[in-house]
Homo-oligomer: A and B are copies of this chain.
Amino acid sequence: MAVSNIRYGPGVTKEVGMDLKNMGAKNVCLMTDKNLAQLPPVQVAMDSLVKNGIPFTVYDNVRVEPTDASFMEAIEFAQKGAFDAYVAVGGGSTMDTCKAANLYTSSPHSDFLDYVSAPIGKGKPVSVPLKPLIAVPTTAGTGSETTGVAIFDYEHLKVKTGIASRAIKPTLGLIDPLHTLHMPARVVANSGFDVLCHALESYTALPYHLRSPCPSNPITRPAYQGSNPISDIWAVHALRIVAKYLKRAVRNPDDLEARSHMHLASAFAGIGFGNAGVHLCHGMSYPISGLVKTYKAKDYNVDHPLVPHGLSVVLTSPAVFTFTAQMFPERHLETAEILGADTRTARIQDAGPVLADTLRKFLFDLDVDDGLAAVGYSKADIPALVKGTLPQERVTKLAPRPQSEEDLTALFEASMKLY
């Protein structure tokens, strides 16, 4: 169980300049994306830096759903700037890009693949010290402000992968619910689905004492350790908040109470999955996002086709939990109950279908596209989707039930249509 240092409160972003001053920063890189660069969260952060007399440079070229190329561009920018601290203002894409820039600038002789998770990269442990990084999330989903994970599309293989090490965890996360008032409805919904799946997957992940191999030195322990008594607390708590507040947060942009709770839930679920890990919904989501054809998600102001991360994660969730429920049926039933199902007369052997039906109803109520077919995939794409899932061992091996290629094929097939 590793650390996340977070501070919560409306307006807490105003303190970022003081925090950096307290850290002794004299040359700060503020990373964001082109959209946010024009919006209040970045403005508030910049004002605080100016007010505290801290010289800074803005990098606003973060790509939403970043790639190895966009990571490399940010890394090169950071190397030239010789910064002594970083501030990331944005969603998971911005925070993850900033983590990568901080890591590779602190380890200038490393190849890019050195720290990328195996088997795509070499998965080397990080032993260099990094610069302070303050993360200011503006979406309520990724939890990246609390985790040591940075995800990107590896374009060469058309697949998402990532870097996972406690060493790249932000020094401090500033959870400012005022920023969530800028989120369009579908961004709230999709990022909320990411929280939902972080909680469900980390709570149903392989328990830590059943995971193998057991590393001989603590430094080689993976960031994702399997479900454990601490991550369970965070997962269940985040799930309760999703059940209570996500619909309200989606429907009403001014519902500060609901959006504040979801902003905290994102961090809570992040602390949970950042220690326990996620499994099949996330493992299968990477090719779903990576192989996108022409689908352009509503409410996302980007110039390229995009299946948002939270959507690509949640579309397989009914199929995934039907598949995994046989391993820990009580936990599956318990989460269904938290999400509103009446489980008093449910049989334990029906835990999977009960949770799947609960999820379908939840997604239907939130106007989610009807399965993978609705985001542009057909049966003919399934072999490629399976192929893109196989290298995601970092997460898929944390599923409570091992999966064959046939199992993955069946899970993608079952996810083509939801309702």
Contacts and interface: CB of A to CB of B under 8 A. Distances in A.
B18 A218 contact: yes
Contacts of A387: none
A157 interface: no
Nearest to A15: B218
Interface stretch (A1-9, A56-64, A90-98): A1-9
A411 interface: no
A7 B217 CA distance: 13
Chain A interface size, as a band, is 20 to 34
Nearest to A241: B229
Contacts of A22: 127, 217-219
B233 A271 contact: no
Nearest to A271: B3
A229 B262 CA distance: 13
Contact of A219 (B3, B6, B18, B264): B18
A128 to B, nearest CB: 12
Contacts of A18: 217-219
A350 interface: no
Interface in A250-282: 264, 268, 271
* Chain A, interface SS category: helix
Nearest to A18: B217
Contact of A1 (B7, B217, B229): B7
Interface string A16-38: 00110010000000000000000
A158 interface: no
A401 interface: no
A9 B1 CA distance: 11
A248 interface: no
Contacts of A1: 5-8
Nearest to A52: B217
B229 A19 contact: no
A209 to B, nearest CB: 8
B218 A19 contact: yes
A247 interface: no
A8 B237 CA distance: 21
Interface string A197-234: 00000000000010000000111000000001110011
Q: Which of A209, A217, A218, A233 has the most CB of B within 10 A?
A: A218
Interface string A67-89: 00000000000000000000000
Contacts of A19: 218
Interface of A: 1-9, 15, 18-19, 22, 127, 209, 217-219, 228-230, 233-234, 237, 264, 268, 271
11 contacts: A1-B7, A3-B3, A3-B5, A7-B218, A8-B229, A8-B230, A15-B218, A18-B218, A229-B264, A233-B233, A233-B237
Q: Which 3 A-B pairs have the closest CB atoms?
A: A3-B5, A22-B219, A3-B3
Given A1-B5, A3-B5, A19-B218, 10 more contacts: A1-B8, A3-B4, A3-B6, A7-B218, A8-B228, A15-B218, A18-B218, A229-B264, A233-B234, A233-B268
